[in-house]
Amino acid sequence: MPSPRILVLGATGGLGRALVRSLSSGHETTGWGRVELDLERPESIAAALSRHDFDVLLNPAGLTSPDVCEEQPGKALLANVAGPQALAEFCQQRGARMVHFSTDYVFSGTAQEPLTEEDETEPVNHYGRTKRAGELAVLQACQHALVARVSWLFGPDKASHPDHIIQRALKGEELTAVADKVSVPTSNADICGWIELLIRNRPDVNGVLHLCNSGSASWHSWAEAALEAARKTGLPVGTAQVRPIQLAELSFLKAPRPLMTIMSNAKLQNILGMTVRDWREALEEYVGQKYPTA
């Protein structure tokens, strides 16, 4: 079977960049940014896509800041719902596979146990509501669509929580992190590996799938693990400590955040027939590669 041709949208974003780089080594892969395809102009999407031949469309693009979504709800609806729906309609017509990325923020944050793909969704902010509506629109429009929910991404293409903590520790600044909000930090590099396996070996998989590392963390324990990894790699972060705070103290946030959105990756492990590593192992590897000291 010939290797599928892949088109990645959101190629200027954190996960999009990682996908283009990672998949390019084994597949004909093209990355598009908003210049080539604007999700906020759904009426232009079919014409844009028809200019390019592809078998698999990966869509990590969208309006990803909860606070921006809260302040610009119309823009969020276009980028996270109407745009993805138009992508899915085109993929259905062409018989292409679509992987649409979504979020742990589709959940309310009140669960006691890790959340499965079958658990009820109940987003608490406009970002989560538009992402959930986008999931449903994509699944309804395209029978070959896979909705891949991810959480708390880190990787070399966009600074995220561990990078901010390490940078601040290196400058000797005071460190605080929220201790009462939990989810699963997840490596963009690991997501790329799972996506490659799903494309290569499992063209039959569709519906909703949680793509996250194993384990769980609060923003506080994630920050402490980042410092620990920095020390191991020899970065001069000294004995920096992270002071735990409560989510409610972050009064500048515009959108409410769900507190507990740990997703179960049991279905992913079952589908791929492999053990998915703990986020701590992936974080240590990332920090060692991103901040080499020698």
Ligand X SMILES: NC(=O)c1ccc[n+]([C@@H]2O[C@H](COP(=O)([O-])OP(=O)(O)OC[C@H]3O[C@@H](n4cnc5c(N)ncnc54)[C@H](OP(=O)(O)O)[C@@H]3O)[C@@H](O)[C@H]2O)c1
Active site residues: 127
CB of 238 to ligand X, least distance (A): 28
Residues 6+ apart with CB under 8 A from 234: 293, 294
CB half-sphere exposure, 13, CA atoms < 13 A: 20
Closest approach of ligand X to the CB of residue 239, in Å: 28
Instruction: Report the greatest alpha carbon distance in the chain.
Output: 57
Nearer to ligand X, 15 or 240 (CB): 15
CB of 157 to ligand X, least distance (A): 8
In the bound state with ligand X, the residue whose beta carbon lies nearer, of 76 and 96, is 76
Q: Output the CA–CA distances (angstroms, integers) from residue 80 to 39, 117, 209, 213, 270, in the order listed.
A: 8, 20, 18, 24, 29
Amino acid at position 211, single letter: L
Output 131 or 267, the one with its CB closest to ligand X. 131
Q: At its nearest, how many Å lie between ligand X and the CB of residue 237?
A: 23
Residue type, 40: E
CA distances to 14, 99, 178 from 227, rounded to whole Å, are 22, 34, 15
Q: Are 293 and 214 in contact (CB under 8 A)?
A: no
Question: In 122-218, which ranges are continuous DSSP H helix?
Answer: 126-141, 161-170, 188-201
Query: Which residues form the interface with ligand X (CB under 6 A)?
Result: 10, 12-16, 33-34, 37-40, 60-64, 79, 101, 103-104, 131, 150-153, 158
d(C-alpha 278, C-alpha 282), whole Å: 7
Q: Whole-number minimum distance, CB 144 to ligand X, in Å?
A: 19
Which residue's CB atom is positioned nearest to ligand X?
13
- 31 vs 240, beta carbon nearer ligand X: 31
Residue 86 or 240 having the CB closest to ligand X: 86
